[in-house]
Structure 1
């Protein structure tokens, strides 16, 4: 177990420049045929957020605020997390299989591929965060030192996405059903995670179970940082549960990555 963790960590650290270089290339390649380029990575989520705000905020909630926070602001903070984590997980599943030709032609550090996908989405997410933060300021939010906690929760999102991507990307080499399962699960998570709605009317025992969802921890962390000004240590139990889950996932992903590192080429 320790050997596999050391292998993954050392390979990612020693290839950190390559990770950012590939992430940059992928972002540019994805938008090379578009005049607006990387702006579409921000415009698309904002268009979808506008739709959700109209349906859930104006239609269902009739414009009612959430805990004194305007629904649009509350929604923006949650959806920002979703538009980072969702593509990270979806692309993470195929992070190895999509680069199999490169792996065949040269000796390539395979364990950096899930990280590369997440870093790519994190760069786009940071651009989107800047825009959303400016929107918050324009709409009257008072800047606070608590806002910087978003960086911690961004790291949490990256840790969760990389750990899960390592597991799913390896399993996807055995059967492509993994990709279909992940896509179906992500569609479900979009609505069962309290991003578009609040769970204050749910029974307490159900709330405790739902708070074990790592995505909920990150979403709530963003909202705490922007609106509620709750410190990172204000929810110690949830933080412990989150990092226990992430650590378990990272160990499992590292073990799979290390065990099959020499067999990926033969799996296609």
Structure 2
């Protein structure tokens, strides 16, 4: 708990710096490209098109899921996954990528993973708006359930920060962690019901699958846009998610503080 309190104080003292760094890291890569900010949506949209063609048309032959077009059902899972996947990948290398800073000056290193996650959130926000427009254009009216969107974004962000505190510290000591994380993410993508439905899973299979806390976020987006359900309707899953998130953040704070003073030597 002491480690977490230290990190929280460091975040509070550097709140403005986190915001400025996230904005800088968001804008800088776009300056050297002709299409600029369009790349934020072009790359994900191309992936969405491929997944829809292969899984929606090729495998499912255009069949809807629970009465909803496959594309719209898929979007509610794929858009948050883009944020989750990109955040874990970038978060793992967050401190290592800032080696030039931490070796030359005293820097509050605990804010680096947070800054990285917020940068990925800025990348993902345009996709969320595109997703909302996709539902509206297909006859889905905006509902009061949309107020849950910030809740699920905050929930995902906190867990991602906790994970990044762990992986960004470990990768400084063992570079192979980055490759391991990439491999795990590829497995998670196909083991998470983003492109497929859990309707045919036996009860035990569903319980095992739902051990993955990010399914809470995926299901949450679908409940918000498609099924009109509140997050508190599934009390057990909500409690489980926040327990995992709190434990992950506590472990992340502990591991970060353990390696913190050695970061400059481990570069």
- TM category, shorter: over 0.9
Does the 8 A contact of 1:212 with 1:242 survive in 2? no
Does the 8 A contact of 1:100 with 1:265 survive in 2? yes
Partner in structure 2 of residue 36 of structure 1: 35
- Which whole-Å CA distance do the structure 1 matches of 2:249 and 2:142 have between them? 35
- Which whole-Å CA distance do the structure 2 matches of 1:37 and 1:16 have between them? 27
- Which whole-Å CA distance do the structure 1 matches of 2:36 and 2:22 have between them? 15
Question: What TM-score comes out, normalization by structure 2 length?
Answer: 0.98
Q: In angstroms, what is the RMSD of aligned CA positions?
A: 0.9
Partner in structure 1 of residue 245 of structure 2: 246
- Which whole-Å CA distance do the structure 1 matches of 2:213 and 2:175 have between them? 25
Q: Residues 157-216 of structure 1, C-alpha deviation per residue, up to 9 Å, x if partnerless?
A: 101111101000100011101000000111111101000000110110110111121111
TM-aligned CA deviation for residue 260 of structure 1? 2.2
Partner in structure 2 of residue 60 of structure 1: 59
- Which whole-Å CA distance do the structure 2 matches of 1:157 and 1:36 have between them? 29
Partner in structure 1 of residue 189 of structure 2: 190
TM-aligned CA deviation for residue 224 of structure 1? 0.3
Task: Identify unmatched segments of 5+ residues in structure 2.
Answer: none
TM-aligned CA deviation for residue 259 of structure 1? 2.2
Alignment of 1:62-101 (within 5 A): 62-101=61-100
Does the 8 A contact of 1:27 with 1:38 survive in 2? no
Does the 8 A contact of 1:212 with 1:238 survive in 2? no
- Which whole-Å CA distance do the structure 2 matches of 1:259 and 1:62 have between them? 52
TM-aligned CA deviation for residue 123 of structure 1? 1.1
Partner in structure 2 of residue 141 of structure 1: 140
- Which whole-Å CA distance do the structure 2 matches of 1:36 and 1:10 have between them? 39
- SS at 1:169 equivalent: helix
- Which whole-Å CA distance do the structure 2 matches of 1:117 and 1:49 have between them? 24
TM-aligned CA deviation for residue 255 of structure 1? 0.6
- Which whole-Å CA distance do the structure 2 matches of 1:14 and 1:221 have between them? 33
Q: Residues 66-100 of structure 1, C-alpha deviation per residue, up to 9 Å, x if partnerless?
A: 11111110111111011101110001111011111
Q: Give the aligned length.
A: 267
Partner in structure 1 of residue 231 of structure 2: 232
Question: What TM-score comes out, normalization by structure 1 length?
Answer: 0.97
Q: Which runs of 4+ in 1 moved over 4 A?
A: none
Partner in structure 1 of residue 20 of structure 2: 21
Q: Residues 101-136 of structure 1, C-alpha deviation per residue, up to 9 Å, x if partnerless?
A: 101111100000110111001112112111111111
- Which whole-Å CA distance do the structure 1 matches of 2:88 and 2:54 have between them? 26
Task: Identify unmatched segments of 5+ residues in structure 1.
Answer: none
